[in-house]
Every structure is written in structure tokens, then in C-alpha cells.
């Protein structure tokens, strides 16, 4: 299926507390290394999509961000604007892949993810 949900990111303030909560509640496997600058733990629910848990910087909005896999982020962002949405974070590289964040007309946030062409 095209344009499917690809990744779910949970943005939290207290990573250890959130990690314990989700592991206990849903029996998810959560793994990662904690350091003072950047905490991002992988979440394995046993099925796709998988995701991550990020200790988000203080003062930034917390919540859940769902990433949608697209063939062309640039074209998708053009369409977001044409259809009344707005770009929150422009296209950026993640290794050979690309990411972006947009808001729909109601302000709901979504991420876009484009895999490198091989």
C-alpha cells in the first residue's frame, strides 16, 4: 500500500518513566542508550509499524507523531500547502533517507518519510 503509516514516535519528558509505563502496560520491547544530549529509544511492538520514544527538549510540545511513507516528500509538501496545510519542519536528510513534518488544516501534526532511491 502506498502512503502507509511507517513509524510512530512518542515524544516524552521523562524517558525512564515513560519507558517503564509502556513496557508494563503493553509489554513492548524498548531499547536504547541514554545520554545527556540525546535520548531516543526504539519501540518494538512485535508488528509494523514500529517506532521510537524520544526525550523531547524541555519547552517543546510532547505527544505522538505518526510518520507516513511517501515516494516524494517535495511533491507531498507542495500538495500539503495547496490543500490548506502548512509545513512545520521542511525536508531534511536522515542518512540517505529524508523526513519532514506538516500540519493538516486542523493543525494535526504528521511526519513524512521518504526512503532513499536504490
Domain ranges of the chain: 1-67, 70-118
The C-alpha cell at 59 is 519547552
Is the CATH code 3.10.180.10 the one for domain 1-67?
yes
- Pick the closest to residue 56 from 69, 76, 41 (CA basis): 41
pLDDT at 3: 87
- The structure's pTM equals 0.83
Fold entry, domain 70-118: 2,3-Dihydroxybiphenyl 1,2-Dioxygenase; domain 1 (3.10.180)
**Helices (H), ranges, the chain:** 15-26, 73-82
pLDDT at 37: 65
Per-residue pLDDT tens digits of the chain, which is 118 residues long: 688 899 999 999 888 899 999 999 999 999 886 666 668 889 998 888 889 998 888 888 889 999 999 999 999 999 999 999 999 999 999 889 999 999 999 999 999 999 998 7
Same topology, domains 1-67 and 70-118? Answer is yes
CB 37 within 8 A of CB 81: no
Helix (H, G, I), strand (E, B) or coil at 104: coil
- Pick the closest to residue 53 from 112, 62, 61 (CA basis): 62
pLDDT at 107: 92
Amino acid at each position: 500500500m502506498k502512503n502507509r503509516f511507517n513509524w510512530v514516535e512518542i515524544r516524552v519528558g521523562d524517558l525512564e518513566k515513560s519507558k517503564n509505563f509502556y513496557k508494563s502496560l503493553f509489554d513492548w520491547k524498548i531499547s536504547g542508550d541514554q545520554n545527556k544530549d540525546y535520548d531516543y529509544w526504539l519501540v518494538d511492538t512485535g508488528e509494523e509499524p514500529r517506532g521510537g520514544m524520544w526525550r523531547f527538549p524541555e519547552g517543546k510540545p510532547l505527544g505522538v507523531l505518526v510518520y507516513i511513507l511517501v515516494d516524494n516528500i517535495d511533491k507531498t509538501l507542495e500538495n500539503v500547502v495547496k490543500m490548506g496545510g502548512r509545513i512545520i519542519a521542511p525536508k531534511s536528510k536522515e542518512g540517505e533517507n529524508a523526513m519532514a513534518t506538516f500540519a493538516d488544516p486542523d493543525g494535526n501534526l504528521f511526519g513524512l518519510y521518504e526512503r532513499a532511491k536504490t
